[in-house]
A and B are shown apart, each in its own frame.
Chain A
Amino acid sequence: MNQIFNFSRFIKLVSYNLNIHKKRYLLMVGGVFAALFLFQLVILLSNPGWTNMEWAGLFLGTGIVGAIFYFGKSFPYLRKKETTIDALMIPASTFEKYLLEIVSRFVVYLIAFPVIFYLASHFSAVFATILKEDISYTGFMLASAFDRVPEEAFPVLAWVFAFGASIVFTGAATIRKYPLIKTIVFVGAVFMVVVGYFYMVIEVLDLGQGLEYVSKAMIRSEETAMTLVTLFLGCSTLITLVYAFLKLKEREIA
């Protein structure tokens, strides 16, 4: 028997998870749909000329905020000692438990959120049209929402999203109490220190000539810049996710 990954064991773990938490998942989907529907309805009623471009903005905004909250709630069993014991003692490998969390967060969110948003937008458009008889509203169309975004920017945007999500995800794997708040504070502090440092070096002390020389020598085109950023974000995401796995693997219960 493979001790790292066994497909049939993983399926049993998924089935266990669904059976134990199905009520919670259904409530969550229902809650998100209701919240989005009401929010969108209010927006539509107060903005008569709502376009698909604006839908796209709303989709991104709510999607990012939702993702931060949802990924910040990863590994919910690690919040309490009793549930942690229960989860760690389940007969599946650490990798399978980790993979389940990746699937139930990243994959499920990336599929479920657009679907829920799409359905909620169409329902809210129908209701808004009924309430305001003189205006005809249309729901969100994902296919044409990002027409104006350059194609080459998509990988970078996707990696920015993946990196941000992986940080919040790893925070949830590492920190027991209030992981989302603590992660945001920690990342914010690191960001401030880094930005402050470079501000001091480049702007205040005027020591940035070397940096400018190196960056100009390395980045000769926009394409190179995009590749470097994608590479940096990809590696950072991978390292962050590996760190989350190791934290789960080495988890101890005092």
Chain B
Amino acid sequence: MIDIQNLTFSYSKKEHLFQELNLKASEGSIIGLLGKNGAGKSTLLKLMAGLLKPHAGEIEILNQNPFHRLPSYLQHVYFVPEEFAVPSISINAYVKATGALYPDFDYSKMAGIMHDFELDGLKNLGKMSYGQKKKFLIAFALSTNCKLLVLDEPTNGLDIPSKSLFRKVVAGALSDDQMVIISTHQVKDVENLIDRIVLIDHGRIMFNHSVLDVSQSLAFHTVSDIKDTDCLYDEVAPGGYRILAKKNGTETPIDIELLFNAVTNGTNLEIHESDI
């Protein structure tokens, strides 16, 4: 579904944001795109959405060049940006006006997600809070049944119950032929949701593995002392250390934050790719 080859992009002539970046991904996955501030997460999403033109290299999504912004592409890709604008009309009016533009739009799904998010269809979008608007856009994005959903910092502005509801709704609303890319710097918000972790740093994809492969190859522990422990990476934590080690029998929940820090600090992690 996504095939990015040797992507080069920059905002200024002096410094490249991406230099020969490569990424491949297929449908049926929820990808967590993680990276530091300024790493280029939002830019990569905009390039995928067709809002920016690569300076070199190729982006092919759904067998199309996103920057051509053809209707057949836009009908199957929905982008929820971090900062967005909504018109000052009721939710119902917006859904009626905009839903018709998406051939696979599911109105009953929209009603269900709106119910889950406790959104009132008669409410004016312009008078809603940022978090409510974001929930509405997420609900709309999921209801379009687009093959690719690109969500830039979707949990920003959501309250704590809404964040867990977001995970539940996203996980429950997708089919096997869809893909979601979630860019976030709040890794806790997407834990237990994503099934592939892509880390971006210094203009390159530093890490691109499925959650399954990570959990089969690495173990995450909290220990009081790191002496005599064969760890790949460690961090001081309250009560001791958080360590990342090669998996040795027991499966542990993935600590994405620790994994992120390990990768960005240059730790060499050997992950065995599964056949799945």
| Interface, chain A (partner B; CB < 8 A) | 1, 3, 6, 9, 12-13, 15-16, 19-21, 23, 80-83, 85-86, 88-94, 96, 249-250, 252-254
Q: Quick check: is B56 within 8 A (CB to CB) of the other chain?
A: no
How far apart sit A6 and B100, CA to CA, in the bound complex (Å)? 15
Given contacts A16-B97, A19-B93, A85-B84, contact A1 B71 (CB under 8 A): yes
Q: Which residues of B contact A (CB under 8 A)?
A: 11, 46, 49-53, 69-72, 74-75, 77-79, 81, 83-85, 87-89, 93-94, 96-98, 100-102
* Pair B101/A253 contact, Cβ less than 8 Å: no
Contacts of B97 in A (CB 8 A): 15-16, 19-20
Task: Please indicate the chain A residues that have their CB under 8 angstroms from the CB of B69 in the complex.
Answer: 88, 93-94, 249
Instruction: Please state if A93 and B70 are interface contacts (CB–CB under 8 Å).
Output: yes
Measured between beta carbons, the chain B residues less than 8 angstroms from A96 are 71
CB-based contact B51/A252 at 8 Å: yes
CA separation between A227 and B42, bound complex, in Å? 53
Can you sample 9 A-B contacts with CB below 8 Å?
A13-B101, A88-B50, A89-B51, A92-B74, A93-B69, A93-B70, A249-B69, A252-B51, A253-B52
Is there an interface contact between B83 and A82, defined as CB atoms closer than 8 Å? yes
Can you name the residue of chain B whose Cβ is closest to the Cβ of A86?
B85
- Across the interface, name the chain B residue whose C-beta is closest to A19: B97
CA of A21 to CA of B96 in the docked complex: distance in angstroms?
13
- Name B77's closest neighbour in chain A (CB-CB): A89
Q: How far is the CA of A88 from the CA of B51 in the complex (A)?
A: 8
Q: Which residues of A contact B51 (CB under 8 A)?
A: 85, 88-89, 252-253
**Besides the contacts A91-B102, A92-B71, A253-B51, what 12 more A-B pairs have beta carbons closer than 8 Å?**
A9-B101, A13-B101, A20-B89, A82-B83, A82-B85, A88-B50, A88-B51, A89-B74, A91-B74, A93-B70, A249-B69, A252-B51
Contacts of A23 in B (CB 8 A): 88-89
- In the A-B complex, the 9 residue pairs with the smallest Cβ-Cβ separation, listed nearest first, are A19-B97, A82-B85, A91-B74, A91-B75, A253-B51, A83-B85, A3-B70, A91-B101, A20-B87
Point out the residues of chain B lying under 8 angstroms from A81, CB to CB.
83
Pair A91/B87 contact, Cβ less than 8 Å: no
Bound CA span A226–B50, Å: 45
- Contact present for B49 and A252 (CB under 8 Å): no
A95 CB to nearest B CB, Å: 10
B residues near A6, Cβ cutoff 8 Å = 71
CB distance from B179 to the nearest CB of A (A): 17
Identify which of B71, B74, B81, B96 contacts A82 (C-beta below 8 A): B81
Q: Is the CB of A254 within 8 A of B85?
A: no
* Given A15-B100, A16-B98, A19-B97: A93 touches B71 (CB 8 Å cut-off): yes
- B101: chain A residues within 8 A (beta carbon): 9, 12-13, 16, 90-92
Shortest Cβ distance from residue A222 to the other chain B in the assembled complex, whole angstroms: 48
Contacts of B11 in A (CB 8 A): 254
CA distance A92 to B79 in the complex (A): 15
A15-B100, A16-B100 known; A9+B71 contact, CB < 8 A: yes
Question: Smallest distance from the beta carbon of B61 to chain A beta carbons, Å?
Answer: 14
Bound state CA distance, A254 and B97, in angstroms? 28
| In the complex, residue of chain A having the shortest beta-carbon distance to the beta carbon of B51 | A253
Chain A residue nearest in CB terms to B68: A3
Tell me, rounded to whole Å, the shortest Cβ–Cβ distance linking A162 to chain B.
Answer: 28
Report whether A1 and B79 are in contact in the complex, using a CB–CB cutoff of 8 Å. no
Q: How far is the CB of A177 from chain B (nearest CB, A)?
A: 16
**Interface pair A252/B53, CB less than 8 Å apart:** yes
